[in-house]
Amino acid sequence: MRLELDAPSSAWVRVPTDLPSEHGEAWADEALEGVRRRHPDASAEQLAAVRQLVLRARDGLLPGAAVGLLYLPEPRPFGLLVSIGVSEPEAVEGSLVRALLGEAELVGRPIVDPVEVPAIGSGISVRCLFAPAAADRKPAAGLAYLLQGERATVRVMASPAPQELVAHAAPSLGKIVASLRLVD
């Protein structure tokens, strides 16, 4: 079973989950070329910083991710990494939010909305603020989806990121989630 999706803009870069490490540099160059095309006025220094972010993206994916995505809206090292996992259908007991976020310490209550993806099933989207690790830091924002259907359970997890980045990426990530489909 394979997961397919449609990215609504070229700001989303697919992060390979099964690429041999010797091909990582070539993949990073290809991803960087997309940034260069979208932002032809980007400086060499900006592009070098983005390239480092791109190179680290593969290591930041959650274990077992079937699909990885990196949102790069600007020519600077400011991106949102998304891991998408697919498993056999599983019954989630209790809170879907807890099944998605675990025991993460949050600031306030998460915003939970129902989601229906015709090709996968129904579930929830969760937007939240994670408690900062240090007293002088701002809380990081989180965005995640849990979808359950007859054929699979799908988890979409964005890495904790600045609130403005998550807010900027959320509408297009919602479109990506709506496009998810399983292929045999």
Domain at 19, CATH number: 3.40.1000
Mean pLDDT by 10 residues, the chain (184 residues): 88 88 83 92 93 91 94 91 94 82 89 96 94 78 95 95 95 97 90
Question: What DSSP letter does each residue of 29-62 carry, written as one string?
Answer: HHHHHHHHHH-TT--HHHHHHHHHHHHHHHHHSP
What are the backbone dihedrals phi and psi of residue 105, each rounded to the nearest 5 degrees, phi first? -85, 125
**What is residue 51's three-state secondary structure?**
helix
pLDDT of residue 135: 64
Looking at residue 139, its amino acid is P
Q: Given this model, what pLDDT does residue 94 score?
A: 77
Cα 129 from chain centre: 16
pLDDT of 22 reads 74
Q: Are 154 and 84 in contact (CB under 8 A)?
A: yes
Confidence at residue 47, expressed as pLDDT on a 0 to 100 scale: 93
What pLDDT is stored for residue 89 in this prediction?
A: 92
d(CA 36, CA 11): 11
d(CA 144, CA 156): 5
Q: What is the pLDDT of residue 137?
A: 76
Domain containing 35 equals: 2-183
Domain count of the fold of the chain: 1
What one-character DSSP code corresponds to residue 52?
A: H
Q: Are 88 and 97 in contact (CB under 8 A)?
A: no
How many CB atoms lie under 10 A from the CB of residue 74?
Answer: 16
Helix (H, G, I), strand (E, B) or coil at 125: strand
- Coil, helix or strand at residue 179: helix
